[in-house]
Amino acid sequence: MIHAESSTPLQELIDRSNRLGADRRNTNYGGGNTSAKGVVTDAVTAEDVAVMWVKGSGGDLGTLTADGVSMLVLDRIRALKNVYVNTGQEDELHQLLDFCGLGPPGPAPSIDTSMHALLPACHVDHLHPDSVIALAASVDGEALTNEIFGNEIGWVPGQRPGFDLALKIDAMRETQGSLRGVVMGGHGLTTWAETSEDCEQLSLDVIRRAADFIERQGKPEPLGALRVGFDPLPTDERRHRALALAPIIRGLASTDQRAVGHWFDSDEVLDFIGREATPRVAPLGTSCPDHFIRTKVRPLLLDLPTTATPGEQTARLRQLHAEYREEYRQYYDRHARPETPPMRGADPAIFLIPGVGMFSFGADHQTARVAGEFYINAINVIRGAEAISSYTPVSEAEKFAVEYWMLEELKLRRRPAPKSLTGKVAVVAVGAVAGVDPAIGRAVAREFEDAGAVVVVAPDDEDEAVDAAVLQFGGVDIVVGSSHTHAVATMIAQGHGGDIVQLGGTKSLVAERATELAECGIRVNGIAFDDDPDGRAVARAARALVDGSLANTTGLIIPISR
């Protein structure tokens, strides 16, 4: 057990992190990391030990608690200098952080831990602010950084986080006594100070000065004019078009792995998609490592105007998607080495549809939403960089090195294992079935949510609930109810099959529908019950029908007996 002599630095660190993380202008969700240094008494030796508290990998600053902070022995991290020879050892060195703790292991420390440790200042912030990344991703980012911050904030060229970068930043600090932070090319900001308060003020000050500079010096329309035919559709028409396209797009995005979607149609997104410069800047991809790991190296931008019919848009999307996959495969092959982790899937995570908005995708709804939010960060960065200069993200080789870096791979592997229905969208339309207790619908919804699905519960109209599922999550995979015509059309548009669980139908009806829909990969099964007061028996049966346990079964009716 470790008794913190002074818990103040840790508490200050948590409070500062929460304040900084609460404002998305300071850092993206889950992005950036902070640290504090102090002294604790080692319970084993009764000696004082200099330690560093640093945010664990993957957590969010806004909601950071003591459980999300790792504590490491400062001298041991710094002693890694003794074994460090070259950049080929980055992964190995990071693993050695496991041997730098004091007491039971906490969360895996941030991938920027060595940078925090090598800097002597007591408090260090590393953030991903859109305004600073706009400088960092400008072709003349170094000159702009000099112009705005003089010799107070330095410039370090784009490079993967790690020990080598940490040594470079600390060497700069040592030779330039006035330095209080660095803009990291194509990436973000690192600042340091002796007190938590000074560090926070400095971070906020640098972020504000960068934003002010863009505001004051930037072009009024950095991405050119809105293109006619690519501008935002009126709300109703936009919704209509989103309903038609979302299942098709979700089907494409799920080619390698079933993905849940999220639709964004905010002004900033619609505006970006419609601008003259977007076909030039969007293919350049995103810049900050956090951005492109979640959003893939670049989005898929539909290049047809809003006057195109949904049929034309669908055909073009299929074509662009096939090209995207081919290019992604080539990108992987160009840069992969024998030790590179296997390709993670070649589908885009971000689809930009003129007039309609952005559809983002991920293995679950939270991942999908965050990917879209990160792309909005990228939009702000691209717009800011084009306002003051020319947007120039890090090189493709550097992006690949980060995307397929072992440490990022480990970060992904630490995520909880998917549940049996993760990635599936379910509509529970029990309320629409005559004579069925709504408690049964609630029990089924709970059962599906426990298994990882996202669920829309229909109080009465099943078709409306299917539309809600399409707009909220991109489509539908599972329907529990009685009619299903609309749901079937949506499943066919997605092109990856589906599950229908019929309540209150006859045996012959279920068998007939099962035969009819088999060629579309849609399975139709039923549950027959007279009474199930709390709905749990029906819910368990419904889950067994859709969770893959009975993947080759269609046309079955499961009887429930009391």
Shortest Cβ 330–Zn ion spacing (Å): 28
Shortest Cβ 194–Zn ion spacing (Å): 23
Q: Report the SS3 class of residue 270.
A: helix
Which residue number, 12 or 112, has a Cβ lying nearer to Zn ion?
A: 112
Which residue number, 64 or 246, has a Cβ lying nearer to Zn ion?
A: 64
Shortest Cβ 412–Zn ion spacing (Å): 16
Kind and range of the H or E run holding 544: helix 536-546
74-to-51, 102, 325, 352, 407 alpha-carbon distances in Å:
5, 10, 45, 46, 21
As a whole number of angstroms, the distance between CA 208 and CA 202 comes to 10
Which residue number, 187 or 321, has a Cβ lying nearer to Zn ion?
A: 187
For residue 270, what are the contacts with CB-CB under 8 A and spacing of at least 6? 231, 232, 355, 357
Which residue number, 112 or 547, has a Cβ lying nearer to Zn ion?
A: 112
Shortest Cβ 34–Zn ion spacing (Å): 11
**Distance, CA of 331 to chain centre:** 21
Residue number of the CB closest to Zn ion reads: 188
In the region spanning residues 47 to 66, those forming contacts with Zn ion, defined by CB under 5 A, are: none
Nearest CA among 66, 96, 95 for reference residue 79: 96
Question: Binding string, 139-178, against Zn ion, x = CB under 5 A?
Answer: ----------------------------------------
Shortest Cβ 59–Zn ion spacing (Å): 13
As a whole number of angstroms, the distance between CA 23 and CA 17 comes to 10
Partners of 53 in beta bridges: 36, 71
Nearest-10 Cα torsion for 266, 309, 307, 255: 40
Residue 213: other Cβ atoms inside 10 A: 20
Q: Does residue 428 contact residue 457 with C-beta atoms inside 8 Å?
A: yes
Shortest Cβ 227–Zn ion spacing (Å): 34
Q: Does residue 211 contact residue 131 with C-beta atoms inside 8 Å?
A: yes
Residue entry with tokens 């995708």: 361
Shortest Cβ 344–Zn ion spacing (Å): 20
As a whole number of angstroms, the distance between CA 230 and CA 469 comes to 26
Q: Say if strands 498-503 and 478-481 run parallel, antiparallel, or are unpaired.
A: parallel
483-to-466, 479, 524 alpha-carbon distances in Å:
12, 10, 12
Which residue number, 185 or 348, has a Cβ lying nearer to Zn ion?
A: 185
Q: Does residue 341 contact residue 248 with C-beta atoms inside 8 Å?
A: no
Which residue number, 116 or 365, has a Cβ lying nearer to Zn ion?
A: 116
Number of residues that bind Zn ion (CB under 5 A): 1
- HEC per residue, 263-330: EECCHHHHHHHHECCHHHHHHHCCCCHHHHHHHCCCCEECCCCCCCCHHHHHHHHHHHHHHHHHHHHH
Shortest Cβ 342–Zn ion spacing (Å): 25
Shortest Cβ 148–Zn ion spacing (Å): 20
In the region spanning residues 455 to 484, those forming contacts with Zn ion, defined by CB under 5 A, are: none
Shortest Cβ 195–Zn ion spacing (Å): 23
Which residue number, 28 or 392, has a Cβ lying nearer to Zn ion?
A: 28
Which residue number, 188 or 535, has a Cβ lying nearer to Zn ion?
A: 188
DSSP state of 520: G
Which residue number, 52 or 537, has a Cβ lying nearer to Zn ion?
A: 52
Residue entry with tokens 């067994």: 544
Shortest Cβ 392–Zn ion spacing (Å): 18
Which residue number, 286 or 306, has a Cβ lying nearer to Zn ion?
A: 286
In the region spanning residues 226 to 245, those forming contacts with Zn ion, defined by CB under 5 A, are: none
As a whole number of angstroms, the longest Cα–Cα distance in the chain is: 83
Nearest CA among 517, 470, 84 for reference residue 251: 470
Question: Binding string, 172-211, against Zn ion, x = CB under 5 A?
Answer: ----------------x-----------------------
Which residue number, 68 or 188, has a Cβ lying nearer to Zn ion?
A: 188
Where along the sequence are the contacts to Zn ion (CB under 5 A)?
188
